[in-house]
Structures are given as C-alpha cells and as structure tokens.
Structure 1
Amino acid sequence: MKWQSFSLNRGIVFLSLVVLGLVLVSNHHLGYSFGDSIFRALGLPPWSEQGNHGLHISAITGIFLLIAGYLGATIYYLPRYRKIRSRIIIGCIAFVWLSPIVSEYAMFILKYNSTGIRSVAYSLKDSQCSFQTYENNRVHANCSLTLYNYGNQPTITLRPVTDNHPEIVFQPETFFVSPHSRVTINKEFIAVPDKELNFSGWSRVTKYEIEASGETKIVE
C-alpha cells in the first residue's frame, strides 16, 4: 500500500514539473513570460545580463523542468496509458496558446475598478521606437506602443527612457485613454540634450516612464 502511494505521488510530481515548466516558459498578454514575473517577484534576475540580454535564465529553468517532467511522466504512465505522450503534448500546446488570452481577461477582471498606476500596463508586443538626431541637436523618437488601461484611469503621461544616454530626456506626453481598454499609441517624442551628439537607432525593447494620478513607474 505504501509503495502504491509512493508510486502515485511520483506520477503527480512528474506532471507538476510539466505544469511548472509550462508556467515558466509561457508568455502572458504583455509579451514576456510568467517566469520573468515570478523570478522578479522572488528577487531573482530572469536574464544573466541587464536589459533582458544574455542567457534567459527563467526560460532555461522552465525548459529543463518541462523535459524532466515529460520524460518522467512518460516512463511512469506509458505502461498503463498508451496515449500519455500525445496527451501531454496536446496539453502543453493548449496551455501555451491559452495563456495570453486567459491572463488578459483575468487582469481586466481583477483590476476592473482600479485607478492610478495599478490600472496601467505596457505591452512589449508590437511596441518599438526609432531614434534620430536632427538640426539644433533635437533628438526625435517615433514610437509605437500598446498600453492596457484595466480600470478607470482617465489619462496617462509617458516618455521613452534611454539607459545608455541619460543625458537624453524626452519631454513627456499625456494621452486620454478609455476605461477597460487596450490602446495602441503612435507618437513622436522630442528631447534637446545639453551636449551635442549624433544619436540614432531602432529598438523593440524600450523603457518608458509612465505617470498616472501622481504615481510614476518605469516599465520595459
């Protein structure tokens, strides 16, 4: 009886590893993985280098757990359930596909009555900026970004932030946003640095300083 209980628990452990691995590697609706959010909440860096560069530690951990759980569950259940491999694979595909959809709806429900900075989120997906320096040392940033207003925040003020060039401080712009909405913003931001420089380039991963109801946060 004890051996049967241990054997059953071992099967549950393998399936739990599969689920945990899926959570770490799956993306939510903001364009980055749940693993990144979990690692940051635990005070751990999800990437080996700053600015989301280097080795993606949370994803590597998730893949390792997913493989270990899949192999263990297959070996354990295969003698009794011949379709266990296809069932796990189909379940993994469904989990990854549904994750961003479920997370988006969940946030709108959980933060339906929120205001201020808690109501606002920045989506990494489909967001980008191009930078160019023009006459009179004016730096222009043509940005396209997606924002979520989960609750009832009426206005959002934001500006792009460049880590490598702290002397470039873009003027913030204020936008009116509908409650409980997902909006795409296309806007040109302007900065006039104190010293002359020639700054140009393109970036899909851009930091923004967002202000709502007197509260400010940096998102990327």
Structure 2
Amino acid sequence: MSRKQGWGAVLLLLCSLLLLGVTHRGTILGDQLFQAIGLSAWSDMEKRQGFHYSVIAGFILLVYSANLTIRYFRQRHRLVGRTVFLVCVAFFATFPYVTEQALVLMHRNDTGIDVVDVLKKDSRCSYATVDDTVPIQCSIRLVNYGGAAEQVQIRPLFREFGSEGIWSYVEVEFVHLTLDPRSNQVYGISFTTKPEERLRSTGVSGTAMSFGVEMIVNGEGKEVFME
C-alpha cells in the first residue's frame, strides 16, 4: 500500500467516525449529513424506524478504513491496532463536548431564539388530570449558547393520543425562565393547563420521554421535538 493510499485510509476512518458521532443533542451527525445531501437516514424516515442507513454506512466504512489503516501503519508501529481502537473510543467520548463548545463559540456574540436549545438527555414530563386541568411536572435540559442571559417563555408539547386525545384541545400555559449565559442545565418546571370541562371525564395520566418544547424569546418562537 502506497503512502497516498495509507493516508487516504486515515481520511476514510475520520469520515466514518463523523458519520457515527453522536452530538451533545443526542443526534447522530450522519443523519444530518444524509439529510443535507437529500438522502434519507432511515428506511422509514417519518417514524425513524427500519434500516438506519447512515449508521450502517458509517459502520461499514469504519471497519473497512480501520483495517486499511492498520495494514498500512503496522510495519512502522507494532501497536497500531490498539492505537486505532483508543482513537475511536476517545473520539466518541469527546465528540458531544466538542459539538457543544463549537456552538458556544459560534454564538458567543449572539442573542435571541437561535442561542437557546433543549436537549433530550435528562428531559421528561409526567402529568395527571385533576378536575378540569392537567398539572405537568417536567425536568427539561435547556442550553443557552450565547454570552448573555436570556428571558425565555417555555411550555411542553405532546403528541400522545393523536388528534382525538386531550392534547388536541388542552392548552398548556407558558412558564417564564431566565437562562444564564453559556449554560447547560436541567430545570425542574411545573406547568398547568387552562381549565377545560372535557377533562373531568378523562382521568388521563402518563410519563413522556419523547415530547416537544415551544420556546419564545423576544417575540420569536420555535418548536423542538425530542424523538
């Protein structure tokens, strides 16, 4: 194997790691790269089920490129196999931190809705109807990438029970929060809904790990769903 081919294998190895890297938001970078070039990351993209094409491609490329890299460097470095393994472990361990710090650097002088985010990690909500309202207890991990404190209005969004369920007619009220500059922390938040007579006969309760969050900053809003 020539020198050019050897370093080409290293480049392929890096590409495979990027395809499989999990960001601090819990998303796979390969999914975003596939979508950016117009390819579906899943065989059933709507439900995110079936064959996970980006992961399959990344894993195949990882095995292939790692094998080529080891073959090229084995003559010079006896422990190259262990080195490649440790590099892969270090990459996956540090990649979430790197992606978060990249966004902090990118938004260091920005303010507004674009600098606030919600992460799926440690985020969950539980709820149970009480008379004509639904008290909701949530733990939500919120991030402020910017260098200034942000005043945020926030409320959870639920898709459970479909178009005929309680969330099709119940309105959750916003809660006001202040996010510290360059912060990433879990907030325990109590929400409630506006009174609705139809709730008296439902008796619905549950815990949601996959839900959405609506956020408003300075009149601008966005919705983020954590599937």
Alignment TM-score, normalising by the size of structure 1: 0.84
1:27 to 13, 22, 27: 22
Q: What aligned pairs does 1:39-78 form with structure 2 within 5 A after superposition?
A: 39-47=34-42, 48-50=44-46, 52-78=48-74
Structure 1: gaps (5+ residues) = none
Shift of 1:54: 4.4
* Cα deviations by residue, 1:133-176 (Å, 9 ceiling, x for unpaired): 2222x223211011111112521112111123451432222211
Shift of 1:58: 2.6
Q: What aligned pairs does 1:1-220 form with structure 2 within 5 A after superposition?
A: 7-47=2-42, 48-50=44-46, 52-136=48-132, 138-151=133-146, 152-164=148-160, 165=162, 166-167=167-168, 168-192=170-194, 195-196=198-199, 197-219=202-224, 220=226
1:146 match: secondary structure: strand
Shift of 1:98: 1.4
1:135 match: secondary structure: coil
- In the aligned structure 2, how far is the partner of 1:13 from the partner of 1:49? 32
Structure 1 residues 66-75 or 85-94, which shifts more?
66-75
1:139 match: secondary structure: coil
When residues 20 and 43 of structure 1 are mapped into structure 2, their CA distance, relative to the original with a 3 A threshold, is: same
When residues 97 and 46 of structure 1 are mapped into structure 2, their CA distance, relative to the original with a 3 A threshold, is: same
On the 8 A contact 1:148/1:181 being kept in 2, the answer is yes
Percent identical: 29
| One-letter amino acid matched to 1:65 | L
RMSD across aligned C-alpha pairs, in angstroms? 2.4
2:156 match: secondary structure: strand
Structure 1 residues 187-196 or 100-109, which shifts more?
187-196
- In the aligned structure 1, how far is the partner of 2:189 from the partner of 2:72? 55
Shift of 1:89: 0.5
Structure 1 residues 210-219 or 164-173, which shifts more?
164-173
Structure 2: gaps (5+ residues) = none
When residues 131 and 65 of structure 1 are mapped into structure 2, their CA distance, relative to the original with a 3 A threshold, is: farther
On the 8 A contact 1:49/1:55 being kept in 2, the answer is no
Shift of 1:131: 2.6
